Amino acid sequence: MKTWVRISWILALGVIAAMIFGSGAWAKDKEVVIGFTGPLSGPAAQYGKDNVAGMEMAIKDINAAGGIEVGGETYKLSLKTYDDHIDPTAAINNARRLRARDGARIIFNPVFNTLAPLMEINEQPGSEFLLMAYTSTPAIDFIDNDLTISIPPPFKAYAWAYADIAWEKGWRRCAMVVTLGAYGDEWRQTFAKHWEEIGGKVVADKPANYYTETDFSAQLAAALAKQPDFLLIGGPSDTTALVIEQARDMGFDGGLVMVDQAKMDYIVEEAFGGDMSKMNNVVGVARTLDIAPRHIIEPFHNRYVEEYGKEDTSENVLHYSAIQMLAAAMEEAGTVDDPRAIKAAFKKILPMEHEKMLVAYMGILDTRLLVPGTVQVIENNEYQTSVQNIWWAKDEEEFKEIVGKIPERDVISKYLPLERYVEKAKSMK
């Protein structure tokens, strides 16, 4: 009798459980895994962690708002990260692990040295993934790959804008101490070519490995011996700060032009503790508070500082925006696991509302997302008015149309067409 009662209770509990699960009361939302492989240790670790932090914040916001709705199902986003030490073999192994083991169909990477090898595997049949490339190198936009999206502006826009500023300041002699690697090599060659075309002179080229070195005195001494008006420098922000400090300690008080990977506000606040004395006559990517209207960007800035205990960077902001775009694209495409459909949906969802995007992503041109390249100068211990450069408009009329769609703020807008992008834009219209 006791046995029969026990069996009856077990059956009853089974029926109740079936009813609960069948009703969805205990049902769990499905999950979309977003992958990341990049530098999370070593001298470039902070750069990699800044990428991840922006992704984390966006995923947290999307999930708190209920996730995404695709095909009648609710999905929450999750992030899986691996350290690749900027080693191409490690990056490839990480990507394959993310795709096969973790189920990621979207993978982020922030260094061209590892992005180029990843572009050789991300279209392999049966193992496809959408490669979200956080690199400004223009070379990536002219590699034949249908499953890549480049997140920041091409650095050529920054190079042209920097050259204009340097020329207006009366600087004529440039010495270069830029990071080694494919990204740094292309930066140096691109800037040097343009600088000499407009009449400037490159008096020294002394590259250094910003990912492994911390003492740049030999390269700086050789460069400064040529008496330049300014130095073109840069790599990750932490090691770029060391270059600035060492150059100033060696008595150089001329101009400093930073490649776009280095961020002036991060260096001011995190490396120099808010002291701007070493940063006068520095030209670089605009600080985050000046790349978007204050009412949009300041809440993000304050929240980031509170949650992470340090200054935010454009890596945080642009990766936050990238995740928001991906979420909208998956909903538009009606799929979370078809990389081609997700990428195709970007044309339909852009531009998005600026409050969600933080910055003005206006569209996509094949591989490259269309967002202004905003630059700034520090003079007399103050940030000057930033300049947003529109580099993809086919003519002045379209330039004005684009500017009219961007929320107004205290900024100078400049038409800075980059020939190959403009030609591609014209061919795709």
The domains spanning 30-154+294-370 and 155-292+372-428 adopt the same CATH topology: yes
pTM greater than 0.75: yes
CATH topology of domain 30-154+294-370: Rossmann fold (3.40.50)
| Max Cα–Cα distance, the chain, nearest Å | 101
SS3 for the chain, per residue? CHHHHHHHHHHHHHHHHHHHHHHCCCCCCEEEEEEEEECCCCCCHHHHHHHHHHHHHHHHHHHHCCCEEECCEEEEEEEEEEECCCCHHHHHHHHHHHHHCCCCCEEEECCHHHHHHHCCCCCCCCCCCEEEECCCCHHHHHCCCCCEEECCCCHHHHHHHHHHHHHHCCCCEEEEEEECCHHHHHHHHHHHHHHHHCCCEEEEECCECCCCCCCCHHHHHHHHCCCCCEEEEECCHHHHHHHHHHHHHCCCCCEEEECCCCEHHHHHHHHCCCCCHHHCCEEEECCHHHCCCHHHHHHHHHHHHHHHCCCCCHHHHHHHHHHHHHHHHHHHHCCCCCHHHHHHHHHHHCCCCHHHHCCCCCEEECCEEECCEEEEEEECCEECCCEEEECCCCCHHHHHHHHHHCCCCCCEEEECCCHHHHHHHHHHC
- pLDDT value at residue 125: 96
Residue 429: what pLDDT?
Answer: 61
Question: What string of pLDDT tens digits covers the 429 residues of the chain?
Answer: 444 444 444 444 444 444 434 434 344 579 999 999 999 998 789 889 999 999 999 999 999 999 999 999 999 999 999 999 999 999 999 999 999 999 999 999 999 999 999 999 999 999 999 999 999 999 999 899 999 999 999 999 999 999 999 999 999 999 999 999 888 999 999 999 999 999 999 999 999 999 888 999 999 999 999 999 999 999 989 999 999 999 999 999 999 999 999 999 999 999 999 999 999 999 999 999 999 999 999 999 999 999 999 889 999 999 999 999 999 999 999 999 999 999 999 999 999 988 888 999 999 999 999 999 999 999 999 999 999 999 999 999 999 999 999 988 889 999 999 988 998 888 876
At 354 the pLDDT is 83
- CATH for the stretch 155-292+372-428: 3.40.50.2300
Give, for 256, the enclosing helix (H) or strand (E). Answer: strand 255-258
Give the per-residue pLDDT at 20. Answer: 39
Q: What is the pLDDT of residue 16?
A: 41
Question: Domain segments of the chain: what residues?
Answer: 30-154+294-370, 155-292+372-428
